[in-house]
Structure formats: structure tokens, C-alpha cells
Amino acid sequence: METYRETTAGTMKSPKWLDRILYPFAHHTLTLPNGQMHYVDEGQGEPIVFVHGTPTWSFVWRQQIKSLSRRYRCIAPDHLGFGLSEKPTSFSYTPEAHAQNLEQLIEHLQLKDITLVVHDFGGPIGLNYALRHPSNVKRIVILNTWLWSLQEERQMMKISGFLNGALGRLLYLNLGFSPRLLLPRGYHERRHLSKDVHRHYLRPLNKASNRIGTWHFAVALKESGDWFEQLWEQRENIRPITKLILWGEKDALLPLHLLDKWQEAFPEAQVQRYKAGHFVQEEKGGEIADSILKFI
């Protein structure tokens, strides 16, 4: 059994670039075998766990945390390699490894009757926990994500295969392709990505050695197909859990028919569509928070 130690809230210093009005939360860290994981833990009551994707971090959930932490306990980790977590060179960075880290955090905090909110790569990472521990997950909120192999998405497979090569690695590690170019494409209305907000996504990924996590996610779209498919084959485990799907239908990064697949698999799920891009929780911050509040 591995042992973990947690630093007390506030002992981790805020980096100078972090705007404490935008992100006023206390810092917590959990020491995992592969590095320090930073997470937010705000408010009291029933726990809501927010799981981010790439190239974001807990910052992407700030509007929902500010609103929902008045009545609930909001927990939002930064995956290793992202945000304020450590960016170790020795970590595998597979979605499966991130899922294990998330499970360790949930166990460490002894969270019960969780509402799980997942987005992008946070979908398979977070829902892996729900599939393994369905009795401990009370509700699931799904935002622009997937839980199956993307092998049939030819365009995405082509891009992921290309990114696995030397040029793809260069684009991601040396040029910061993900936060610089892909992230803005994920917004339907660019005005929501102000210079200040964009800076909060660029700064944690400010050098090649800090961007390795983003590159591994790009490669994983193709490479982790078998693991995604294994998760999908277990989907009956989560059928009894109440679900809410909040979907930005102007998503330029994921095809809209992924929503159809969710609806076919879980016709009982509530669905709300928004005129927003991939980062629907950024563009429709207050509305997403209200929808989650109403759902709970």
C-alpha cells in the first residue's frame, strides 16, 4: 500500500502569474508515486468532482466552482503534467495512468456519493472511476467527451498518427501547438478567450519539458483506443446512474455525432445543447453551473 502525504491548504505558493480574482481557490497537493498533484477543494457538502482534459487544468472549471461551492464541496484536480501539478519526465502520461491518479485522490479524500463532471479526456479518465465504483457515483455530468475507441474517426486518427512522429512532437513540445493554436479553435466565440484567460492556459505550459502531457494526449487518441473500447464495453455498469449531458454543438475539435452515440447508448440521460464550442464550460459558464445545480 502506497502512502501519500498532503500539504495543508495554502502551503503551496501561488505563482506570480496567477490572477487570484479569476482563480481565488486555496491550493492543495497530494504526493503521488510519480509527482505532486495539485487540486482545488472548495466548499462543504455533497462532493462534486470536476475532471479536465487537454490542454486545460482546474482553471477551466473556475466559474462552476465559484458558483457551486456555496452549497457543495467542489474538488478539481490538475492531472500530472497540467496546471499547477508537477510535470515529471518519468511518468507514462497515458489516460489510464491519469485515471489511476484520480482514483487515488478520490480514495485519499474519502469522497462518498460523488457527482462526477467530465470533459474532453476527463471523460474516459473520470468515467473509469464510475465504471469501477458505480455504487459511489450518484450522478454523472458529461460535457463534450467520449468513452469509446475513436478508430472510426478517420480524420482524428490521421492527425493522432501524424502527431506521434518527430514533426508532431516538435509542434507540441517546441511550439506549444495545443495551448497556442488548438485551444482557441475550441471556442465558438473567441471573445470568451480573453488575453488574460489565454495566458492562464499558456503559462503552465511555457516550455517544452512542461508540454509533454499535452503531446501524450494527442498521441493517445489513437494509441489508447483499446483502453477506451474496454471502458465502453463496461458501460452497463453506469446505466443506473443519473446522467446529464451538456454539449457545445459548435465544437470544432470533436464531431457532433459523438453526442448521438451518447444519446443512443443512454436514451434516459437529460440532454442540453448550447451554441458554444468545445470549451462549453468557459463560454457558457453561468448557464453550465445553473444546469448542474438544477440537476443535483
pLDDT value at residue 11: 62
Cα angle for residues 212, 16, 169 (degrees, 5° grid): 15
Residue 194 scores a pLDDT above 80: yes
- CB-CB contact of 43 with 71 (8 Å): yes
Instruction: Report the pLDDT averaged over residues 183-190.
Output: 97
CA distances from 55 to 21, 68, 176, 244, 284 (A): 22, 23, 10, 24, 19
The CA distance from 104 to 112, in Å, is: 14
pLDDT value at residue 162: 86
Residue 140 burial (CB count, 10 A) = 24
pLDDT value at residue 23: 98
The mean pLDDT value of the chain amounts to: 94
pLDDT value at residue 160: 87
Instruction: Report the pLDDT averaged over residues 91-111.
Output: 98
> Does domain 27-153+224-295 fall into CATH 3.40.50.1820?
yes
Q: Which amino acid is at 94?
A: T
Residue 132 scores a pLDDT above 70: yes
Residue 111 scores a pLDDT above 70: yes
Residue 240 scores a pLDDT above 90: yes
Residue 5 scores a pLDDT above 90: no
Q: What is the 3-state secondary structure (H, E, C) of 17-67?
A: CCCCCCCCCCCEEEEECCEEEEEEEECCCCEEEEECCCCCCHHHHHHHHHH
Overall pTM surpassing 0.75 (yes/no) = yes
DSSP string, 268-282: TSEEEEES--S-HHH
Q: Which amino acid is at 184?
A: P
> Which positions ≥6 away from 281 have C-beta within 8 Å?
60, 61, 63, 64, 119, 143, 288
Residue 274 scores a pLDDT above 50: yes
Domain segments of the chain as ranges = 27-153+224-295
Residue 9 scores a pLDDT above 50: no
Q: pLDDT tens-digit profile of 63-89?
A: 999 999 999 999 999 999 999 999 999
Q: pLDDT tens-digit profile of 213-224?
A: 999 999 999 999
* Least confident residue range of 3-7, 52-56, 83-87, 226-230: 3-7
Of the candidates 56, 212, 236, the one whose C-alpha atom is nearest the C-alpha of residue 145 is 56
Q: pLDDT tens-digit profile of 157-166?
A: 888 888 888 9
When pLDDT is cut at 50, 70 and 90, the band that residue 7 belongs to is very low
pLDDT value at residue 164: 87
CA distances from 72 to 49, 117, 127, 293 (A): 10, 13, 20, 9
Of the candidates 69, 61, 76, 133, the one whose C-alpha atom is nearest the C-alpha of residue 109 is 76
* Least confident residue range of 68-77, 153-162, 174-183, 200-209: 153-162
Enumerate the β-bridge partners of residue 51: 118
